[in-house]
Amino acid sequence: MAKKITSANYTKLMPDPGKNDQLFADAAQAGLAIRVRRLKDGNITRQWRVTYRIRGTDPTLPPTRENLGRVDAVDIDFARVKAKAIMSAAAKGDDPREIERVEAERKREIREATLGSFIPRYLEFKADLKPRSLADLKYQLETQWAPLHDTPISAITVKKVSDRMEEIQRDCRRGDSKTAGNAPAIAAKGAMRNMFRWLMSKGEVDSNPAAAALSPAKPPPRDRVLEDDELRDIWNRCGDNDAGRIARLLMLTGVRREEVGGMRWDEIDTDKARWTLERDRPKNSRHATESYKVILSDPALEILRSVKRIDGREHVFGTKIGKGYGGFSKFGERLEKKVNDARAKEGLEPLDHWTPHDFRRTVETRMGERPLSVPDRVIDKILNHKIQGVRKHYDFSELEPDIRDAMAAWGDYVMRAVSGEPPASNVVPIKRASESAVASA
């Protein structure tokens, strides 16, 4: 009985006595064999071979034989997988050699294709992201990774990714801070890593250099809360242009800067003092149909009334038709410089470093303190925080009356701070509905 290939013997097969060239069939995969030859010098060679006939071809012609490599270079598992693919293609009437040629050509084209050539395809794949998330992804891939756009995708290495991340860190570093540039580098790496993960799932690349690159340390979370005199200083020195109005609205509402920058006139109901952001605009939306309602205090409404409306323009801020305010890349830096330059002219020291997002933290902190004492649940609704735990499945209340009271109190607090007056001492703390019910029982 002829010998069969097994996992135990395939590297040790020897020709039968008197034979110098012999085939041994695989016991598990039809068509697969090892050709064992005894050379004149006595050495033994072992070569994988698959024999097949393409369905529909002339049966009188000899079958096709294809070598898969030496046994010492190709293990039995890979040889079986390769042979199975070849036999399957032949059984369907396809030429395995042509399939392999086309695949090799496709891989060659991919190796020569540049990083930049894959970005439009990936952005199209991610087109269902929220506008803000999609804009950030485009910024990361099209701007932060622009220096590597002309590099072949196959030449994107861990070192190239790491070097570019270090450049981003240096470009974004501020003063003596050792971690100020880390967050932009981490964001850029995340975008690249996810794109390569998608390319791997499509069979375009075999590895993910961005995943292997070492991430810089995450910067510590900011804890800057602005004092009343700092609110006054920023309010009075930020100017009466779009950037200044946006800064004041951030101070009064606690919303995110991109949400104010994209504000549209049709979202504002001045009669009800309400600004409604549809589901694709806020960062956190629990449901596909959910919108985010921002109650506007009297000072916030006054700012909006001061904005000159332009015919044919739907956005409140900005200059381009169809787009909102577009100056956020350096928004905080320019605003901080403007305030500090004005202070310098009066012989005053610059304020400690602050960012526009610090307004949001300040709103949350000051609302929860006396004299306002706004309940956490109301503050969460005001800031559109993502509800955690069991509450996210059951808490769908709007709390609008409580929110209106809180926003009116906060607007008064800010304006008193701006004018240098102390906070009102007769503010009645806002109670939870459950607290009120207990008190009246």
Residue-wise pLDDT tens digits, 286-298: 443 468 899 999 9
Greater pLDDT, 180 or 398 = 398
Contacts of 24 (CB under 8 A, 6+ apart): 2, 3, 4, 5, 13, 33, 34, 36
Alpha helices in 153-241 (DSSP H): 158-172, 182-201, 209-212, 228-237
Tell me how far apart the alpha carbons of residues 136 and 191 are, in angstroms, rounded to a whole number.
9
Greater pLDDT, 142 or 431 = 142
Tell me how far apart the alpha carbons of residues 95 and 122 are, in angstroms, rounded to a whole number.
32
Strand partners, 295: 274
Of all residues in the chain, what percent carry a pLDDT higher than 90? 60
| Tens digit of each residue's pLDDT (9 = 90 or more) over 332-356 | 999 999 999 999 999 999 999 999 9
Tell me how far apart the alpha carbons of residues 96 and 115 are, in angstroms, rounded to a whole number.
30
Alpha helices in 219-313 (DSSP H): 228-237, 242-253, 257-261, 298-305
Greater pLDDT, 255 or 440 = 255
Q: Which domains does the chain have, with CATH numbers?
A: 4-106 (3.30.160.390), 115-212 (1.10.150.130), 249-325+354-440 (no CATH)
Tell me how far apart the alpha carbons of residues 106 and 99 are, in angstroms, rounded to a whole number.
11
**Tell me, what's the pLDDT at 295?**
96
**Tell me, what's the pLDDT at 51?**
94
pTM for this entry? 0.61
Binned at pLDDT 50, 70 and 90, residue 176 comes out as very low
Of all residues in the chain, what percent carry a pLDDT higher than 70? 88
Q: Give me the phi and psi of 69, to 5 degrees please.
A: 120, 170
Long-range contacts, 73-76 (Cβ 8 Å, 24+): 74/48, 76/5, 76/7, 76/10
Tell me how far apart the alpha carbons of residues 326 and 233 are, in angstroms, rounded to a whole number.
25
Tell me how far apart the alpha carbons of residues 158 and 12 are, in angstroms, rounded to a whole number.
40
Under a CB-based contact definition with an 8 Å cutoff, are residues 169 and 190 in contact? no
Does residue 2 register a pLDDT over 60? Answer: no
Binned at pLDDT 50, 70 and 90, residue 426 comes out as low
